[in-house]
Amino acid sequence: MNIEPKSPTNKGSADWFTGDVWVDPIAAPRDGDQRMIVGRVRFAPGSRTAWHAHGRGQTLHVTEGIALLGTRDGTVIRATPGQTIYTPPGEEHWHGAAPEDFTEHLAMLETSNGADAEDGWFEHVTDEDYRAAAGG
Ligand code: MN
């Protein structure tokens, strides 16, 4: 057992995020059939992911601020620190900060293994759709 070296904080790619988002890798597979990926994600107010889906689902645990999450059927979840949100495999969704708060969550998922478990990334969440999710 060992204390892991701190991984650099990475700026979220503009291909996958709108606004300023920073990701700290916490855990990643290193050998054998390990699959666990954990990251700390920090969102500036109003920032969010693009639409996407995870081949093996995703668990998000809010640690700071107010998180907004949306799915294609129009469902919007507003989550606060201590709350955990589960997204099943393949469900298209986005997540990010409320307009008025920095927000942080832990993102926990498994690596894909085969085409049917690949993550998919789609279009950005428009300002109009984001404002609607945030309550106008
Ligand atoms: Mn996600």
pLDDT tens figures, 107-125: 999 997 766 778 899 999 9
Output the CA 120–ligand 1 centroid distance in Å. 10
Show me where the domains of the chain are located: 17-114+121-134
- Distance CA(33)–CA(49), nearest Å, equals 28
Output the CA 6–ligand 1 centroid distance in Å. 23
- Please check whether residue 71 is in contact with residue 28, taking contact to mean a CB–CB distance below 8 angstroms: no
CATH architecture assigned to 17-114+121-134:
Sandwich (2.60)
pLDDT, position 62? 98
Output the CA 19–ligand 1 centroid distance in Å. 16
Output the CA 11–ligand 1 centroid distance in Å. 16
Say which amino acid occupies 126.
T
- Please check whether residue 96 is in contact with residue 67, taking contact to mean a CB–CB distance below 8 angstroms: yes
The tens digit of pLDDT for each residue in 29-68 reads 998 889 999 999 999 999 999 999 999 999 999 999 999 9
